[in-house]
Amino acid sequence: MCLGYPAEIVEVYKSGTGLKLAKVRMGGLLKEVILGVEDAKVGDYVIVHAGVAISKIEEDELKDILELYEEIERELASK
């Protein structure tokens, strides 16, 4: 099973070799990832897996995902 994490794109740029990269915000962290989503832009939300933004997500879907993560965190903290 693969696990991806939602992130907000804060910057899009190309590497010296032309690889499309993005700086994303994951919670309170900024991370550089490979941007595997052609039409993604600053302000969009993406799912990041193994250092690659693999798909774009809509804000309503993001809300559901974040609520699920919060529920998991609460459950783990109660054990």
Instruction: Measure the CA–CA gap between 16 and 13, rounded to whole angstroms.
Output: 10
pLDDT of residue 25: 96
Residues 6+ apart with CB under 8 A from 60: none
Domain boundaries 5-77, CATH class: mainly beta
pLDDT of residue 1: 60
- Please list the ranges in the chain whose pLDDT falls under 70: 1
